[in-house]
Amino acid sequence: MDFKTTETAEATEVRLTGRLEFTDHDRLGVIAAVVQGARTQRFVIDMIDLEFIDSAGLGMLMILQEEAETRNIKMILRNLRGDVKRSIDLARLGEIIAIEA
């Protein structure tokens, strides 16, 4: 998985590409640092270019969500599609993380 960060006046956004899975656990700290350094109250994870997410990847989203919550930042998942959308819907992550179409 790779990601790119952009920061606007309204939101901090990371755009994920590739596959978010077990082997990406080391990258989690890097993204968590983006949340920690965010100067806005919105943290958007754009998944338009994400092809696959496994259970460990879902776990990483939960960790980021908690990281954001403790800083009063609203975390939003955006542009879910294909297998990624399917996995996130199956696990009903929408019940604990905000999802935008």
Residues that bind another protein (CB under 8 A): 22, 54-56, 58-60, 62-63, 66, 86, 89-93, 95-96
Tokens of 96: 């604990």
Q: How far is the CB of 25 from another protein (least distance, A)?
A: 8
How many angstroms from the chain centroid is the CA of residue 25? 13
Beta strands 12-20 and 98-100, pairing class? unpaired
Provide the minimum distance between the beta carbon of 24 and another protein in the complex, in angstroms, as a whole number: 11
Locate the DSSP E strands across 21-62: 42-53
Comparison of 9 and 72: residue with beta carbon closer to another protein? 72
Nearer to another protein, 6 or 70 (CB): 70
For another protein, the closer CB: 45 or 58: 58
Output the smallest distance, CB 31 to another protein, in A: 13
Tokens found for residue 5: 């960060």
Helix (H, G, I), strand (E, B) or coil at 29: helix
